[in-house]
Amino acid sequence: MESPYLLFLGDANLVGMDKMGAGIRQWRGELCLGQFRLPGCTADLGLPEMTPAEAQAQGARTMIVGVVNVGGVIPDNWIASIIAAIEAGLDVASGMHQRLADIPAIAEAAARHGRTIHDVRAPTRRFLPGTGVKRSGQRLLTVGTDCAVGKKYTALAIEQEMRSRGIDADFRATGQTGLLIAGRGVVIDAVIADFISGAAEWLSPDADPDHWDVIEGQGSLAHPAYAAVTLGLIHGSQPDALVVCHEPTREKLLGLDYPVPGIAELTDMTLAAARLTNPAVRVVGISINSSTLPADRVEAVIAEIEAETGLPCCDPLVHGPAKIVDRLLEQA
C-alpha cells in the first residue's frame, strides 16, 4: 500500500469510531498527509482538511477508510466520496467487514481508473483449528474490560519499551489498524470461528526462549457481541502474561446497555479462560485510557487501582509502560 495517506473519517460521530484512523495517525503519523470528513463528522485527528483531489495534488497515494462501525459496513452515503478518491487518482484501503470490492460502483470505478482496492480485513491464507500444543518463546496478550479501551496502543507501547531495553520482542497485530501499523498480522475477527485459535497459533509461532510476542487483544470476554473472538484469541495466543486494559470513566459497554465489568471481575474471567492452554498464565499490570479523566484525577485513579489489584497501573501513552514491563521481567 503506497503512502502518504489521506484518512477518510466519513461522518463518524460516536466514541471510538475513528480508532482506525487515530491509530495510524498515532503510530505512523509521518505517513499521514490529511483528513477528509463529511458533514456531521465529530471525529478530528488534527490533520489538515483535504478533499481527495487536493490530497492527490499534494502527493497522497492512498485514501484509508479510517472508521469502524457496528457491523463493519460501508454506508451508502460514503460511496460517492470513495469513488471521488478513485477518480482523483488515489488507491483506497478499508478494514471494514464489507469489502470495497463487493460494492459494484466502487469496483467499477477502480477498474476504470486503474486504481487498487485494499480490503485489508480479508484473510490472505487459510488456517487450521487450534491444537493447544505448547509453543516455545513467551507471549503477552492485552485484554480489555470493553472494546476500544487501549489494547492495541498498550501492546505497541510495551513492544516499544521492551525493544528500547534490548529485549527481543515483536508486536503481533490482530486487527485491521494494527496490521496497517505493523505491516503484517491477521485480522482475527474476519477468520471463521472454528479457526480463530489456529490463526492465533500461526501468528505467534515457536520462538527462541527469550523472545516475546506482544499480541494485540480484541473485544472483551464481557462484551456479548465480541466475546467469541476474544476467547479464540486467548486460547490460541497461549499467553504467559496478560495486561488488563480499562477506561475508568466508561459505565456501559460500547454500543450496548450492559455495565462495564470491574477490573477484578474481568481478570477472573480471563484467567479462567487462559488457563486452558497455559495454566501458568499471570496478570502483570493494568493499563488505563485516561483521556476522559480530569487531569487532576489521573494519579489518584492509578493509585486506587494499584491498591485494589496489587499490580502496576499506568496510561502507557502518558506515563510509558515501564513499570508494567518491570513487573513482567521480574516474573519471567
pLDDT in tens, 312-321: 999 999 999 9
How would you classify the pairing of strands 117-119 and 32-37? unpaired
13 pLDDT above the threshold of 90: no
Q: pLDDT tens-digit profile of 137-152?
A: 999 999 999 998 999 9
Mean of all residue pLDDT scores within the chain = 94
Q: Is residue 162 within 8 Å of 325, Cβ to Cβ? A: yes
N- to C-terminal Cα distance for the chain? Answer: 38
Which residues partner with 91 through β-bridges? 62
Query: pLDDT band for position 68 (50/70/90)?
Result: confident
Lowest mean per-residue pLDDT among 39-43, 103-107, 191-195, 271-275: 39-43
Model pTM score: 0.85
Has residue 14 got a pLDDT over 90?
A: no
Q: What per-residue confidence (pLDDT) applies to 63?
A: 97
Q: Quick one: average pLDDT of 58-62?
A: 97
Q: Which segments of 171-290 does DSSP mark as H helices, in order?
A: 176-182, 196-203, 227-237, 263-274
Q: Are β-strands 91-94 and 62-65 bridged in parallel, bridged antiparallel, or unpaired? A: parallel
Residue 15 has pLDDT above 70, yes or no: no
pLDDT at 20: 87
Which residues are within 8 A (CB) of 244 and not within 5 positions of it... i.e. 6 or more apart? 143, 144, 145, 263, 266, 267, 270, 283, 285, 286, 287
So where are the chain's domains?
5-119, 138-331
Amino acid 184: pLDDT: 86
Instruction: Give mean pLDDT, residues 323-332.
Output: 93
Which pLDDT value is given to residue 124?
80
Tell me the CA distances in angstroms from 93 to 5, 8, 187, 198, one per residue in order: 10, 10, 14, 26
CATH topology match: 5-119 vs 138-331: yes
C-alpha cell at 307: 491498591
284: which DSSP letter? Answer: E
The pLDDT of 183-199, averaged and rounded, is: 93
CATH superfamily of the domain spanning 138-331: P-loop containing nucleotide triphosphate hydrolases (3.40.50.300)
Task: Verify cis geometry, omega within 30 degrees of 0, for the bond prior to 321.
Answer: no
Secondary-structure class of domain 5-119 per CATH? alpha beta
Contact predicate 284/243, CB 8 Å = yes
| pLDDT tens, residue by residue, 231-267 | 999 999 999 999 999 999 999 998 899 999 999 999 9
pLDDT of 295 over the 90 cut: yes
pLDDT tens column, 115-138: 999 998 888 889 999 999 999 999
pLDDT of residue 122: 82
pLDDT of residue 222: 97
Query: What number is the average pLDDT over the span 201-222?
Result: 97
